[in-house]
Structure 1
Amino acid sequence: MNFYSLNKKAPKVSFKEAVIKGLAPDKGLYFPEKITPLTKYFFNHIEYFSEEEIAFEVIRQFVSEEIPEKELKKIIKETLCFNFPVVTVDKNIATLELFHGPTMAFKDVGARFMARCLSYFNKKDNTAKVTVLVATSGDTGGAVASGFLGVEGVDVVILYPSGKVSEVQEKQLTTLGKNITALEVDGTFDDCQAMVKKAFLDCDITVFKNLTSANSINVARWLPQMFYFFFAYKQLKNKHKDLVFSIPSGNFGNICAGMMAKQLGLPIKHFIASTNINDVVPNYLKTGEYNPKPSKQTISNAMDVGDPSNFVRILEIYKNDFSKLKEEFSSYSFTDDETKNAMLLIKQNSNYIADPHGAVGYLGLKKFIDENTNNIQGIFLETAHPVKFLDVVEPVINETIEFPTQIKAVIDKKKVSILISTYKVLKKFLLNM
C-alpha cells in the first residue's frame, strides 16, 4: 500500500515512510491510494470475531507487507488491552466509551499502535530513529506520552498551550520523564500546531533529525481509530436500525476514521460532527465556504481547534463533492452553557456522567434525531473519562468523582515543563537535543 500527499506535489511513499515522515514534503497529509472494502462474510459474522481479529482485518491492507502478520497481530494485541463498551443512555441513544485505556482517552489506541509500529521499524533499521513532535489541545499529549514512554529510538516532544488544559491532562504529559519532554507554550493550541508544522518543513532541523508527528495527521495515529466504529457495530448489529454516529470533533481525525470505516463497508447511515463554539465546519456546511479562524477556549478543550487538519481528508473521501458530503454528514456547534445543561440532563435522566466532550456529542445526536425521526440507533462517542475535567463536571452534577487507578498514578507527581513562546525557541531546543 502506498500513500500520496493530498497536496499532490510529493512522491508516493510506503506505510513505513508515511509514519516516519508524518507530513509530506509539500505540507500535505498522507492518504492511502486505495481502499478495498471488506468481505460480506466478515460483516455477516462479525459477532464471532474478537476485537483483535476485527482490528487486524481492518488495518492490514494499509500496513501491507511492511509489518509481518505475526508482528502486526502482536502490535494489535498490545494496543487493545482494554474494553470498548457500548452503554445505553436514552431511547435510541447509546454511548461508546473510549476512555478505559492507560490515559483514559480515546487517543490511547492510536498512540499505542503508532508507538509499536515505530518500535518495530527501529528494530529493523536503526536509521528509523525519530523525534516525535506533537501539539496537543488536551488528551493527545497524555496518550502520546504514555504510548511512547521508554520506546527505544524515539524521543517525544509535546507542545501544549499554557493554562488551557485540565490539571489531570497536564500531569499526564508532564510527569513521566525518560524520553518525554513537555514544552508549555504561551499561546493557543493553534499556535502549538503551527510551530509543529513549521518545524517539519525547516531544513535546518530535518537535515539532522527524523521528525514525525503523533497527532492524527500521522497515518499510524489516524487509521487505528477506525477500530472503534467496528467494535460498536459488533455490539449493536442486532438492533436492525440505521446507525448514526455523533463524534465530538476538534481536529476531525476521529470522525474521518469513521468515514474510512464506512469506505471499508461498515453500514453507517450518517455522521455528525459535534463541535463547541469553534464552528468552522458547521459554517462550511451552511455556506459551502471553508474559513479557518483562531480557536476559542471552551470547557471542551480538546476540541478548541480553529483549523482542523483532518478535514481535508474528509473532502478527499467524498471527492470534494459537497452535495454527497451533506447527504451523509451533518455538523452542529454548541456553547459551554448548552454543554453544561446536557451534562446535567444526562445525569438526571440516565444517571450517566458524561465529560464535556461526550456531552457535546450527545447534543449533536439529539438534534439530529429530533430532525430525523426514522429508524435510528444513535451512538455518541465518550472520548475521555469525566475525571479529567473535574473542575467542570463536579460543579455541574454536584457530585464528587473518585479518581480511577490511572489518574491516581500521576496526579500527585511533580509537573516538569519548559516554557516557550516563539518558534525560534522551539527550533533552538530541537537542534540542541
Structure 2
Amino acid sequence: MYRRYTDLCPQAILLSPKKTPSGMPVSRAAKLKKGKTFCIFNDRESFSVEKYRQEWETENLMGLITYYSTNNVSEKVNFETALLRGMAPDYGLYMVSKDDLPVISPDTLADMPSMSYAQIAFEVLNPFLGSEIPEETLRHLLNDAYREGVIPTEVQHITGKTHIMWLTKGPTYSFKDYAARFFGRMLNYFLDARGLRRVVVVATSGDTGGAVADALHGLTSIDNIVFFPKGSISDGQRRQMTTLGDNIYAFEVEGDFDVCQALAKTLLGNQGFADLLFGDPERFTSANSISLGRLLPQAVYPFFAYSRVARNMEQMIASIPSGNFGDMMGTVLAKGMGLPISRIIAGVNENTEFPEFLKTGAYVVRPSVKSPSSAMIVSHPSNLARLMDFYGGRMYDERDPVTEKIVRPGVIARMPDLDRMREDIVSMGVTNSQHYETMRDVFNRYGVILDPHGAVGWRTLETYLNGRHDQPAVIYETADPGKFPEDVVKAIGFAPEVPPGMKRQAGMKERIYSIQSRPEHTPQGLKLSEAQVEEAKRLIKELLAR
C-alpha cells in the first residue's frame, strides 16, 4: 500500500542532500533531492523517511542560524521566512545575534586571494544558508549572480596603501546590483520550491530601485513596486526603473526618500490589506536594505576587498559612503566574523544625524538635506536599528496605534554600548561643496573620476588619515560617474562617458505611476500622509488585484 507524503519534500532531504534515508531505493531519494513537491512512499519507506526527518532535525537544528526581530528578540525564524516576509510582523528588522555569527578562519582568509567574487561569496554566505540550501545549489546560484562577464569587481590601487573597490560594473552600474542579484535568486529559489508569489516593495533614493527592478524583471512569481521621490533622482536612475515594464511598477511620490520609505514600510506591515487584496497576508515583502536578503550579501564586499589588498591578518580600514547603512552594517558583520578591520569609516553628507549621535549620544531626526550624493539623502537610516541591536541597544519607530503610521522615528529604547561602537566606527559629514572639491582634487592628482558618493568615501578617509595614505584602506565606490554627468561636469569641467545600458534606456518609453497626494509638513521634516497611503493602496489594487 502506498500513500502520499507531502510534508517532507523538498525541505528535509533537500536540505541535506548527502544522506539517503536507510531502506529507501536510491532512485526515490534522488527524486527527493531534485525537489519534487510530493512523493509516493510505501509503508516501509514512509517509516524510514519519518525516522530520517527526526534524525535530520536533531542533527541540524542545533547548528541552524536563526534571525529575530529588532523589536522582539524572542521570536526566531529561519532565513527563508525572514526573506519571504521582508519585515517582521511587528515592524522590526530581522537580525542575526552577534553571538551566532560564524567565524571565517585565518586559513580560509589566506585562500581568498586566489578565489573569484562568487567563490568568496560562497565562503562567507554558506555558514548562514547551508542548513537551508544545498551547497551545490548555493554555489550555482552565486556563480550565476556574480558572473565575471556580467558583474566584474575591480580593486584599484590609487596611492600609498589606499585602494578603490569599484562596485559599479554590474547591469545598473551601482553597488546595489550585488545585493539585488543575490536577493532575486534566493527569493526565486524559495518561491519556486513553495509554489508561492510575492510583491516586492522597494523605496529608493537613487540606485536601489533600478538594481532591484533589473534583478526581478521578468520573474514569473514576483511583482515589483518601486517608490521614488519625485524630482530627487537623476533621469538615468529613473529610467532604469520606468522603462522595463512587465512586472515592474515604478511610482513617483511627492516628498523625499524618508516619505517613500515610510510608505514602503506601511505597506509591508499591513497584512490586512494584503489579505484583503490577495487572500495572502504575507504577499508583500521587501528588497530594501531592511531585507535580510539584502544585508547578508553586503558582508561579502569587505572580504573581497581584503583578499586583494591585505595579507597575513594585517588590519584594513573600510571607508564607506553611507545612506541607509546597508554597506556599513554588512561590514560590521564581516568584522564580527573575524575579518581584520581596524576601523569602519561611515561617511555621510549633510545629513549628519549619525555622526552627531556618536559624538553626543543624542539621536535627533531632522528634515533631510539635499546633496550631490543623492542616494545618501537619508536622515534616518533604516539599518540603524540593526546597528543599535548589534551593540546592545534597541531602536524602534513609534507608530500610531490606529493607523500604524510612523509618528516618531528613531526612538532609542535602550542605549547601545557607545564606547565599543566608537572603537569600531568613525563617522563624519561631507558638505555639498566638499563633494565637488574632492572630485576635482582626486581627478587632478590621480586622473580618477569619482561620482559624488565615492567622493564622500575618499574625503572621509583622507580626513581620518590626515592626508597620509599609510594604512591598508579600501574606499567603496558605489556608482558609475556616468550616472551623475551634471555633478561630474560641475566638478571637473567635462562629462564622463555614459554607460552603454543607460544610453539604450535614454530613448525608451517610460511607464510611471504617480502618487499625487502631498506629505505632511512637520518640524522633523516631511512625513507620510494618510492620503498618500490610501492613494497608493488604490493604485496597487487597480494594478495587481486578480
- TM-score, structure 2 length as denominator? 0.77
User: Taking structure 1 as reference, are residues 47 and 228 closer, same or farther at Cα in structure 2, changes over 3 Å only?
Assistant: same
User: Taking structure 1 as reference, are residues 112 and 296 closer, same or farther at Cα in structure 2, changes over 3 Å only?
Assistant: same
Partner residue, 1:170:
238
Partner residue, 2:143:
77
Alignment of 1:272-283 (within 5 A): 272-283=345-356
Partner residue, 1:254:
327
Q: Which has the larger radius of gyration?
A: 2
1:204 counterpart (267, 272, 292): 272
Alignment of 1:56-135 (within 5 A): 56-81=122-147, 82-127=151-196, 129-135=197-203
Partner residue, 2:62:
none
2:497 counterpart (402, 414, 417): 402
Distance 1:300 1:396 in 2: 13
Partner residue, 1:194:
262
Q: Does 1:31 align with 2:95?
A: yes
Structure 1 range deviating more: 355-364 or 285-294 = 285-294
Structure 1 range deviating more: 29-38 or 245-254 = 29-38
User: Taking structure 1 as reference, are residues 21 and 143 closer, same or farther at Cα in structure 2, changes over 3 Å only?
Assistant: same
Q: Does 1:143 align with 2:238?
A: no
Gaps of 5+ in 2: 1-64, 393-415, 518-531
Gaps of 5+ in 1: none
Partner residue, 1:426:
536
2:106 counterpart (30, 34, 40): 40
Question: How far 1:375 moved relative to its partner?
Answer: 5.1
For residue 134 of structure 1, give the secondary structure of its aligned residue in structure 2.
strand
Aligned 8 A contact 2:117 2:153 in 1: no
Distance 1:365 1:392 in 2: 21
What's the CA shift string for 1:201-232, capped at 9, x where partnerless? 22332323411111011011111011111111
Aligned 8 A contact 2:298 2:327 in 1: yes
Question: How far 1:240 moved relative to its partner?
Answer: 7.7
Distance 1:394 1:71 in 2: 46
Distance 1:374 1:80 in 2: 31
Alignment of 1:289-368 (within 5 A): 289-319=362-392, 320-368=416-464
Question: How far 1:242 moved relative to its partner?
Answer: 3.2
User: Taking structure 1 as reference, are residues 109 and 26 closer, same or farther at Cα in structure 2, changes over 3 Å only?
Assistant: same
Distance 1:358 1:135 in 2: 22
Aligned 8 A contact 1:386 1:393 in 2: yes
Distance 1:99 1:67 in 2: 29
Partner residue, 2:20:
none
2:120 counterpart (54, 65, 78): 54
Distance 2:466 2:73 in 1: 44
Question: How far 1:70 moved relative to its partner?
Answer: 1.7
Q: Specify the code of the residue in structure 2 equivalent to 1:423.
A: V
Structure 1 range deviating more: 3-12 or 321-330 = 3-12
Distance 2:360 2:229 in 1: 31
Partner residue, 1:13:
77
Q: Specify the code of the residue in structure 1 equivalent to 2:503.
A: K
Q: Percent identity?
A: 36
Question: How far 1:239 moved relative to its partner?
Answer: 9.0
Distance 2:253 2:88 in 1: 25
Partner residue, 2:342:
269
What's the CA shift string for 1:317-359, capped at 9, x where partnerless? 2222110110111000011101100000000000000000000
Q: Specify the code of the residue in structure 2 equivalent to 1:116.
A: R
What's the CA shift string for 1:255-298, capped at 9, x where partnerless? 10011111111111100110000111011011111222221211
For residue 144 of structure 2, give the secondary structure of its aligned residue in structure 1.
helix
For residue 12 of structure 1, give the secondary structure of its aligned residue in structure 2.
strand
Q: Specify the code of the residue in structure 2 equivalent to 1:118.
A: L
Q: Which portions of structure 1, spanning 4 or more consecutive aligned residues, are displaced by more than 6 angstroms? A: none
Question: How far 1:3 moved relative to its partner?
Answer: 0.7
Q: Which has the higher contact order (CA 8 A, sep 6+)?
A: 1
Distance 1:137 1:347 in 2: 26
